[in-house]
Structure 1
């Protein structure tokens, strides 16, 4: 069913290091307390473990605990939920985004751009297919963290209305995070939601969150404080998006291209 407004709950969590049960309990409570009336809940990257380079210890299959939890919670809470977890499949490990709908449908996206400065490319296999989910009349493209730095992979060719990045993006590089989220919204004439974690992980990295919802005009719609765990629901308007695209049709002059790899 199509709807003009989409209510998105941004969860800026302090993810517990390598504690799947603890994180599932934490997120479960956050959703119960904050997601009433929301259509979609957005969780950070690797929300069950933190951004870990130990997939041999932490990975689960598609029948694992986190996958079961996100599917069941979406159904019981009657809200779509998305976030990424460490998955083992066919002899490889993936930083896999899960998008669970309330009707039991589960979509997946494997992170394409692996963060080599954190050695991610030596522990995980990269994905090669972008995902666009049709949900309540909205076309949603979910991507992961380092993908934000690659505008070609993110480029909108009238394929989506909402671009979402989930992240474990360190505070030391918060300026690029905030700047690139704005750029992606403006250049793609879409809403952008970026959800990043806060706190300090087991590798000693500090995260400032800086989670945000941004309009296609480059206007901030959210008010989550940096470096503080919290959740906020933001309302996005399809009428506003389509009106702006009609009045200022930048995409009609966009370059057409195909990715070769």
Structure 2
């Protein structure tokens, strides 16, 4: 039998104050600290956690370079608390005026890598520029793939990451309450069909009196079972996962093995 490779992971569910990075970073830090006190080694925080989501009038001024203010903060938190941290911010592109919705992973060694959202939701197509790469990051406990929010509804991205070796796929999100039916089904489906863990960290709260976020952050095992789900604003959920379960599930239902790649690749 393979050696056990288990550890605790966390999803942070939080509300954000529009445009107020100081408040949002302090809130995130407090929630991350709670997760670490419960033993979490990998922590995922929501999409655009440092600025809030509906900042369209201020996207250019709030966007940051990488490395930059927030990614440096993430690296410092990772080092201080001895964790791997995933968060999502607006990234200022090298070309002036271009902004990306970008997920970042940091560890005790600093910035490990980034992923720019490739499928943009609705008016995000006006606000942001699409990414064009699906990287997988090799970490001490396994391989990490990143998607963002709306992309949970695109099985192609998760499947590509799984085929590249991802054991865990994370979804920092600002997913709307009106479409929670899609969130409920798609988060579980992405885990089951790829035999991987899914960590989906969503927003709560209401912005501009009309955008209501759905919460329901969750950690899902390779069988598509919800191990734990957040139930309140500014919540921390923890689950122990075992990478060996990825191996076992991919043997039990061998979707990746049986995929006829000639038809799709």
TM-score between both structures, scaled by the size of structure 2 = 0.90
SS in 1 for 2:52: coil
Moved over 4 A (4+): 257-260
Cα distance 1:85–1:181, how it changes in 2: closer, same or farther (>3 A)?
Answer: same
> Does residue 26 in structure 1 map to residue 27 in structure 2?
yes
- 1:123 CA drift (Å): 1.7
1:89-108 maps to which residues of 2 (within 5 A)?
Answer: 89-90=93-94, 91=96, 92-108=98-114
1:159 is aligned, of 147, 150, 165, to 165
Distance in 1 between the 2:86 and 2:263 partners? 27
CA offset digits 1:77-98 (Å, max 9, x no partner): 1111111111112121111111
For the pair 1:220 / 2:222, whether they are aligned, the reply is no
**Counterparts of 1:1-261 in structure 2 under 5 Å?**
4-36=5-37, 37-51=39-53, 52-53=55-56, 54-90=58-94, 91=96, 92-116=98-122, 119-155=123-159, 156-157=162-163, 159-202=165-208, 204-225=210-231, 227-256=232-261
Distance 1:258 1:15, change over 3 A: farther
Alpha carbons of structure 1 residues 34 and 153: separation in structure 2 relative to 1, 3 Å:
closer
Q: Distance in 1 between matches of 2:40 and 2:4?
A: 13
Counterpart-to-counterpart distance in 2, 1:241 and 1:120: 33
CA distance in 1, matches of 2:88, 2:8: 20
CA distances 1:223-257 after superposition (whole Å, capped 9, x unpaired): 321x5320011111122222222233232111316
For the 8 Å contact 2:31–2:234, the answer to whether it is kept is no
Q: What runs of 5+ residues in structure 1 fail to find an aligned partner?
A: none
Q: 1:54-101 CA deviation, whole Å, 9 max, x = no partner?
A: 312211222432111111111111111111111112121111111001
Once residues 216 and 196 of structure 1 are traced to their aligned partners in structure 2, the CA distance between those partners, rounded to angstroms, is 20
Structure 1 pair 120–203 and aligned structure 2 pair: CA distance change class (3 A): farther
Q: Is the 8 A contact 2:46 2:88 kept in 1?
A: yes
**Matched residues in 1 for 2:4 and 2:138: separation?**
12
Would the alpha carbon gap of residues 104 and 3 (structure 1) be closer, same or farther in structure 2, given more than 3 Å must change?
farther
Q: 1:247 to 1:183 in 2, by over 3 A?
A: closer
Q: Is the 8 A contact 2:198 2:220 kept in 1?
A: yes
Distance 1:97 1:259, change over 3 A: farther
Deviation at 1:258? 9.2
Deviation for aligned residue 1:3 = 6.7
Look up the SS of the partner of 1:198 in the other structure.
coil
Tell me, in whole angstroms, the C-alpha distance in 1 between the residues paired with 2:264 and 2:25.
37
Q: Distance in 2 between matches of 1:9 and 1:232?
A: 5
User: Is the partner of 1:14 in helix, strand or coil?
Assistant: coil
1:120: how far off?
0.9
1:35 counterpart SS class? helix
